[in-house]
Amino acid sequence: MSLLSLLLISGCDLNTRMSTFTAKGPVAETQLNLFMLTVWVTGFIFLAVGGVYVYVVIRFRDKKDGNESIPSQGHGNPLVEMGLIGVSILLLVIIAVPTLQGIWYTHDVPDDESSLLGSWYTNGDLSEADAKEPFIIRAIGYRWWWEFEYPQLGISTANEMVIPAGRPIHIELRSVDVIHSFWLPKIAGKVDLIPGRANSMWIQAGDTIDAWAKKAEFEGTDNERLLAYEQYLEDEIYDYYYGQCAEYCGDSHARMLFRAHVVKDEDFYAWVNRMDAGHAEAPEGMTWDDWYASYDETPEELTGDVHEGLKLFMGRAKCATCHAVKGNPRAVGVAGPNLTYLAERHSIAAGWLNHRNDDNSVDSEAQLNNFIKWIKDTDEVKPGNLMWKAKGAGIGELDPLLNDEEIRKISLYLQSLQ
Amino acid sequence: MSTTHTTEVINPSVHNDLADLKPEISDLGLRRPDHSKNVIIDWMTTVDHKKIGLMYGAMALFFLLVGGFEALVIRTQLMVPENDLISAQRYNQLFTMHGTTMIFLAIMPLNAAFFNFLVPLQIGARDVAFPRINAFSLWAFVAGALVINFGWLLQALEMFGLFTASGATAGMNDFVPAMGWFGYAPITSTEFTGAGTDFWIMGLQILGVASLSASLNFIVTIINMRAPGMKMMRLPVFTWMTLIVSLLIIFAFPAITVALIQLMFDRVFGTNFFSVGGGGQPILWQHLFWIFGHPEVYILVLPAMGIVSEVLPTFARKPLFGYAIVVFSGAVIGFLGFAVWSHHMFTTGLGKIATAAFSLLTMAIAVPTGVKIFNWVGTLWGGQIRFHAPMIFAIGFVWMFMMGGFSGIMHSSAPADAQQQDSYFVIAHFHYVAIGGILLAIVSGIYYWLPKMIGKMWQGNLNIWVGIFTVVGLNITFFPMHFLGLLGQPRRTHTYLSGFGWESYNMVCTIGSYILAFGVLLLVVDIVRCFRSKQLAGNDPWDARTLEWATSSPPKVYNFAATPIVNARDGFWADKYGPENRKLGEVDESHGIHMPSQSWMPMIASAGFIPLGLGLSLMQAGVPFMGYVAILGLVIIALGISLWALEGPGGYHLHPKKESN
């Protein structure tokens, strides 16, 4: 009955945004394979025991034929018991052995040469120590958003990470307040971020070229191999992946989402270089020195929505108290998400407000509306969050509150961060 | 067996009819409240295990409806994406209180209701070993329930504008617990949650006192008060499960007691057990909590297994298949239950070795659980299955519990669990166990034993509709949740975005929850109809097997006119159908039946928990003078217990006429 309903329901789409059925990396794949093994084994038990059960309930029902004789009062059979216990143990061993292999495999980045950052990273120099480590991303949980640091590359972003396909990544999991959990279902099951504890996990989007070639039993020249591998990544792996906090972390736990862009190496390098350089120029091509000279001495000369938005960002709205924008020498806050190239992200408010088109471009009209909504109703979009109520810096404390025109200007400035 | 008695007054304290019982004066010089004409006073001071059991049952059913209502609000909120029926904060309060209520205020006391009513009857005893402690456990449970739910009262007052946190109470916020029933540190610190957490800590602590004292009582009762010939391996399986569960409580609750004390100290006195800033370790809470929490799962489910192990043999008209191995596997489950706590923590970074060990141990626990299922099927094999209401639910239990067991096996594989943990898949799993397993078994138990408890028989066929609506509703609600979890929906989220493929499943789940709720409502209606029934149950309406059916329905205050001598397992069945040497005998008790006196003291002593719990909670919130209220509570408890000791046990003798059939 249940198996039937399983089939019926599986007529529904199992390839949804956070589906664990469409594993896109070796960790999630190992986890999915183990799950399917448990499904087959328990499915077998279900049919065997359930079948006998149904048979017994029907076969031995009271026939209501007036036969009041007492059934035989047999009370057990040690041989049957021992046999069934033996079979149960055997079935569990079928699950146990691959489980142990899976625990060891999914625990951390494979211990081999090709897992080291130095073996593939070709975008500039690495220190000797960094080259001998796996690629590290530090995911830091805050109520209720994610910081993603790339310590070996000296960059940092929030809520939307960018990662290269086919490369193993060691994720360091840290939390500054309560327990969170990093869950990117298509790429890896979850591991918790616990304050005061150095947890880690590994993820990899898609197979490495060697693993892929082995699985696909590919034969051909190195060049053909590379092209076919690139095609596999293109078809199946490069994508926009959805993740979410999976440990209850307070009021807005439901609104602590994140994203992962899985891209080819070249695109990843380009992104790293842009993030590293930051916004070298102030709006309209001014140097930061000129802009700040004007801001400090003659702010009324900085006119236009973007300039005025930035003035509010640095001034009355106190945004820079908590937010950093790399390049801007005075926007170096650390309590909130890093906003470098914010307008290139496809969502804000930790994945809750989205403005991504199907072709992976940004819907700028929706984006502007989202900025406005977020600044205006931040306490409604994410109840309890610090941007609204932080002592001394929350915009909910401003008197008067930001008006619609000011919010629009700040939003236009934020939209210029691209 | 008829129950006519003649009066034989031997001395002034000997009675055969409670009606002409004169209250005695206790050692304190106060009048004992024995068998007051005032029904309310009679029930508040009772030490009769049957009345106490019925009170546990009534209150637990009330809280079952409360917890069910909380669940319905939760499901209604989740019916459509981005719903704003209730706020995030309210949702978090609701799921916290739903879990806490169902576990501590519904299922545990429902189990306690059966323990209380049945265990003395099943072992041929007159009462539990410590009748006044039994009453104390009941009232302590009530005090704990009130303290935990106190926040709802404040919340309601606030909603109607009768209370605002300002001035002296300015430190109060979050009146209702909202950190999950598991209360993972550090979200329980004063930095993140308010007075609700304190109510929760104090309430659970008081409930722990209630559970521990009740468990000690049952252990002593089962070990010491068995009728002659009721050897351990002749005990009904339900009594065996009570014994094992009581032992589990004795060993499991100290862990949560310690954890709660540490948490309370962190909050009230600023210690650093769990706060990272002071060098504490949040993960310590999880270990302590689950060392309690996993055995707690078996504390909830073993009594259900016990009920089913009574119902199946009765209605298959055969002894339980493999009695010894069913009892033994219950013990093994209880023992292994202490060795698998970290499977709730597979995602906390335990390391490979610990993960592997807990993974394998968790698989191992599937073996004794499977054994029970095999033996239940074996019990039915060759029987003459009669589909009365209790049997319908027991058969449903085996099926649904098996489903919950399968998803349990799926969790045991740690890497697979990394995808399932904290997703709707887990919710599906434990609700199959909790509703498909425990609740169906409890409903089966209610249909089986209520005629014994109140002496009236069920009427009509409403029970079939109860069965259909609960089983269908449960499957429609929880089966799709397996898929929701595997499609990535996390637990404990008050809303979700559209576009993730979760919408239709959530809609179906919500519809299912209403069907399930309607089934529970029908059950309540059926119970009310049973109470109003004119048809008497008689001693043995089901042609059952164990001793409780050998006496009248409802049993007299002294249970058995003469203590039975047991000569077989399933002693009452042997008495009816067995050979002469297996029939029940009777102990000669010409000196009369010694009955315990009623007392106010258990209730007074446990009433002190209310000012103690509320006082400590509100003191943390900064409300003035609350420390004194807490001290007052302690004084009441100390006074209650002292007077209880000083009033003396009292007691009186009854001389019912030997039954003449």
- The residue among B190, B290, B343, B385 with the most chain A CBs within 10 A of its CB, best to mutate, is B385
Which residues of chain B neighbour A102 with C-beta distances below 8 Å? 413-416
Segments of chain B scoring below 70 in pLDDT: 1-23, 167-172, 657-661
Cβ contact A60–B489 (<8 Å): no
* Residue B43 contacts A where some CB pair is shorter than 8 Å: no
Strands A239-245 and A180-184: antiparallel
Which residues of chain A neighbour B494 with C-beta distances below 8 Å? 253-254
* Paired residues of A199 in beta bridges: A173
Structure tokens at B11: 């001395």
> Quick one: pLDDT at residue B174?
83
Name which of A322, A298, A404, A324 is nearest A311 in CA terms. Answer: A298
Cβ contact B321–A88 (<8 Å): no
Cβ contact A191–B418 (<8 Å): yes
For residue B386, give the chain A residue with the closest CA: A62
Listed by number, the residues of chain B in 457-486 with a beta carbon closer than 8 Å to a beta carbon of chain A are 479-480, 483, 486
Cβ contact A76–B386 (<8 Å): no
Per-residue pLDDT 10s for chain A (418 aa) are 454 455 555 556 788 999 999 999 999 999 999 999 999 999 999 999 999 999 999 999 988 777 778 888 887 888 999 999 999 999 999 999 999 999 999 999 999 999 999 999 999 889 999 999 999 999 999 999 999 999 999 999 999 999 999 999 999 999 999 999 999 999 999 999 999 999 999 999 999 999 999 999 998 899 999 999 999 999 999 999 999 999 999 999 999 999 999 999 999 999 999 999 999 999 999 999 999 999 999 999 999 999 999 999 999 999 999 999 999 999 999 999 999 999 999 999 999 999 999 999 999 999 999 999 999 999 999 998 999 988 888 999 999 999 999 999 999 999 999 9
Cβ contact A16–B501 (<8 Å): yes
Asked whether B207 and B104 are in contact (CB, 8 A), the reply is: yes
Cβ contact A71–B504 (<8 Å): no
* Residue B565 contacts A where some CB pair is shorter than 8 Å: no
For residue A78, give the chain B residue with the closest CA: B322
> Quick one: pLDDT at residue B656?
78
Q: How many CB atoms lie within 10 A of CB B231?
A: 10
CA distance linking residue A260 with residue A268, whole number of Å: 12
Cβ contact B399–A5 (<8 Å): no
CB pairs under 8 A between A and B: 294
Cβ contact A74–B321 (<8 Å): yes
> Quick one: pLDDT at residue B10?
39
For residue B478, give the chain A residue with the closest CA: A2
- The residues, ordered by sequence, that sit 6+ positions from B439 with a Cβ below 8 Å of its Cβ are B107, B470
> Quick one: pLDDT at residue B23?
67
Which residues of chain B neighbour A99 with C-beta distances below 8 Å? 356, 359-360, 363, 412-416
Cβ contact A9–B504 (<8 Å): no
Hey, what long-range contacts does A67-75 have (CB within 8 A, 24 or more apart)?
A: A70/B317, A70/B577, A71/B316, A71/B317, A71/B318, A71/B382, A71/B383, A71/B384, A72/B318, A72/B382, A73/B318, A73/B319, A74/B318, A74/B319, A74/B321, A74/B382, A75/B318, A75/B319, A75/B320, A75/B321, A75/B322, A75/B323
Name which of B479, B467, B277 is nearest B388 in CA terms. Answer: B467
Listed by number, the residues of chain B in 480-539 with a beta carbon closer than 8 Å to a beta carbon of chain A are 480, 483, 486-497, 499-502, 504
For residue B90, give the chain A residue with the closest CA: A251
- pLDDT tens-digit map of B521-572: 999 999 999 999 999 999 999 999 999 999 999 999 999 989 999 999 999 9
* Residue B284 contacts A where some CB pair is shorter than 8 Å: no
> Quick one: pLDDT at residue A413?
97
- pLDDT tens-digit map of B84-112: 999 999 999 999 999 999 999 999 999 99
For residue B88, give the chain A residue with the closest CA: A251
> Quick one: pLDDT at residue B595?
87
* Residue B557 contacts A where some CB pair is shorter than 8 Å: no
Sign of CA dihedral B538, B540, B542, B548: positive
> Quick one: pLDDT at residue B11?
43
Which residues of chain B neighbour A103 with C-beta distances below 8 Å? 352, 355-356, 359, 414-415
* Residue B377 contacts A where some CB pair is shorter than 8 Å: yes
Which residues of chain A neighbour B325 with C-beta distances below 8 Å? 76, 81
Which residues of chain A neighbour B386 with C-beta distances below 8 Å? 62
CA distance linking residue B613 with residue B143, whole number of Å: 9
- The residue among A12, A62, A144, A355 with the most chain B CBs within 10 A of its CB, best to mutate, is A62
Q: How many CB atoms lie within 10 A of CB A62?
A: 17
* Residue B186 contacts A where some CB pair is shorter than 8 Å: yes
Cβ contact B385–A60 (<8 Å): yes
| Of the partner residues B92, B187, B318, the one whose CB lies closest to the CB of residue A178 | B187
Strand ranges inside B203-252, DSSP E: none
* Residue B374 contacts A where some CB pair is shorter than 8 Å: yes
Listed by number, the residues of chain B in 575-614 with a beta carbon closer than 8 Å to a beta carbon of chain A are 577
- The predicted complex's ipTM stands at 0.95
Structure tokens at B639: 């006074």
For residue A77, give the chain B residue with the closest CA: B322
> Quick one: pLDDT at residue A14?
86
- The residues, ordered by sequence, that sit 6+ positions from B357 with a Cβ below 8 Å of its Cβ are none
Cβ contact A42–B319 (<8 Å): no
Cβ contact B488–A19 (<8 Å): yes
Give chain A's domains with CATH numbers.
Answer: 1-8+17-53+80-263 (2.60.40.420), 278-415 (1.10.760.10)
Asked whether A62 and B386 are in contact (CB, 8 A), the reply is: yes
Which residues of chain A neighbour B409 with C-beta distances below 8 Å? 38, 41-42, 92, 95
